[in-house]
Chains A and B, each alone.
Chain A
């Protein structure tokens, strides 16, 4: 190996799936998925309803056992790690749902510190400071004392992102972080995601909107029927032909003079 090649040889990705098979119990949802995220990168996972995005994510987070292949965190097989070890290496942002109990926003975010605490310990002042810092990073420090049940859906999603930041993991997996958000909040959340990746986080997120992938993703993976049908730069993966093949609708993909790429469906045409 030449010196130049050694310098280029990339480190093991922060989060990677190798020939991963996934599903619930005996039922297989998907197989043979190779997917990885490196530090500083946003990878978008697209796929129709029922294509297995959430199941794939849960398996990559260790919430479901892998049916085949394996998940590696910075090269270490997930199988060999304890629950808290995994949580220190990859954080999860679930879809914001109505909470059962009216936790204060700061309490909710401090829960992100759990993996860094001893078994019998409660968060310290330092943990609370880190939680508040995470809220302030996202510009919602003012919500700290508000009840989580009394804030808007967009704010809840940001609070869950803050909790993942407080978790201090090098990778974050987000399951459709924009699914229940209004137009403005979608832009707010995705802008934050892009900024966090620019600071060195590895982000893997799923979305239904090709425009989101065009605007923030370094790479896009397209999941259909539990298998990755394409993976690469957004412009290479998200072509009109492939979107028609996967989603069954006609689209026009256009690069705007201002620099953005947009995907516009042709309604009524198949």
Chain B
């Protein structure tokens, strides 16, 4: 499965490199890559389009898709619920508030992204702190409820800022950010987000088997020798870090973290050690495909968050109607 998905991703990468507003032929691609590898000076528009615009954007799509799908798979396993998305503890809503605040204060782009990242982490930290204060109840339930409450508050704050924002300058920027887009991602931003995604990914891979056991519930996991409470903190921190890092770059792109882990589970079963690589590769491929559609389908670019919803929602309904495969 992993081999097949890697091949799929490779083919999609090749196809996405060639198509676009400025089509590149295979020969042009080979020549441009040759120039880059031999250190020859860049020539003409092909190199600019390829290395400065198209490839960074493709890398962003793969990175964002892989990170959201992996975080979604981790959250779904942790919360023992296939309907959970990476936003369950409010990371995207919190990041959205951070970005909106940054736009409202007319901060430079880098600071807006930093604000989104920090607010995403802070929101989940707050949710976790609130949940820790409530003792003697099912910890998972308390976490989810705290996430809903804090997420709703952050949503209200976003609405307030929208009303107060300048309607000609700031409001469109806010709306555009909240819809999610990869069109303005720069190389530097990818280099900033990628290590953070990796930092979240490593513990998830290293602890993959224990995370699996944790999906049986705290009590059974403990009886099987797993430190459930500590492991949960690690998983939440790792998945939140990955999500916040990519949301800060791309804005809120919904549905990927919900639908992709689902499809992955249908393909390889619920075992997290198999689910993780499958969801990661599938998520990267999916968002690359959708983003390539977003920039080639119409004369004006369709925000990718709208496309993932248009594709994701009916697909999810189809999954529901098709039956129970993938969950109990």
With beta carbons under 8 angstroms apart, the residue of B210, B223, B273, B328 that contacts A101 is B328
Whether, in the assembled complex, B226 has its beta carbon less than 8 Å from a beta carbon of chain A, the answer is yes
Q: Identify the closest chain B residue to A104 (Cβ).
A: B269
Let me know if A63 and B219 touch, CB within 8 A: yes
With beta carbons under 8 angstroms apart, the residue of A94, A99, A107, A115 that contacts B225 is A115
Residues of A within 8 A of B225 (CB): 83-84, 86-88, 114-115
Q: How far is the CA of A122 from the CA of B224 in the complex (A)?
A: 14
Report B205-236 residues with CB < 8 Å from chain A CB.
206-210, 212-213, 215-216, 219-220, 222-227
Q: Identify the closest chain A residue to B327 (Cβ).
A: A101
Let me know if A114 and B213 touch, CB within 8 A: yes
Whether, in the assembled complex, B299 has its beta carbon less than 8 Å from a beta carbon of chain A, the answer is no
Let me know if A120 and B328 touch, CB within 8 A: no
With beta carbons under 8 angstroms apart, the residue of A25, A58, A83, A122 that contacts B227 is A83
Interface SS of chain B: loop
Q: How far is the CA of A25 from the CA of B137 in the complex (A)?
A: 11
CB distance from B130 to the nearest CB of A (A): 19
Whether, in the assembled complex, B81 has its beta carbon less than 8 Å from a beta carbon of chain A, the answer is yes
Interface size on B, as a range, is: 20 to 34
Let me know if B224 and A94 touch, CB within 8 A: no
Let me know if A120 and B269 touch, CB within 8 A: no
Q: How far is the CA of A167 from the CA of B219 in the complex (A)?
A: 16
CB distance from A78 to the nearest CB of B (A): 13
The 8 closest A-B pairs by CB, nearest first: A115-B225, A87-B225, A101-B270, A92-B223, A84-B225, A100-B80, A122-B209, A120-B206
30 pairs from A and B in contact (CB 8 Å cutoff) = A62-B222, A63-B219, A63-B223, A84-B226, A91-B223, A92-B223, A94-B219, A98-B328, A101-B77, A101-B215, A101-B265, A101-B270, A101-B327, A102-B269, A102-B327, A102-B328, A103-B269, A103-B270, A103-B271, A104-B269, A107-B212, A111-B212, A114-B210, A114-B225, A115-B224, A115-B225, A117-B209, A122-B208, A123-B209, A149-B328
Q: A84-B225, A120-B206 are in contact. List 12 more A-B contacts (CB 8 A).
A: A83-B225, A86-B225, A88-B225, A92-B224, A94-B219, A100-B215, A102-B269, A102-B327, A107-B212, A107-B269, A114-B226, A117-B209
Binding site for B on A (CB under 8 A): 24-25, 58, 61-63, 83-84, 86-88, 91-92, 94, 98-104, 107, 111-112, 114-115, 117, 119-123, 149, 167
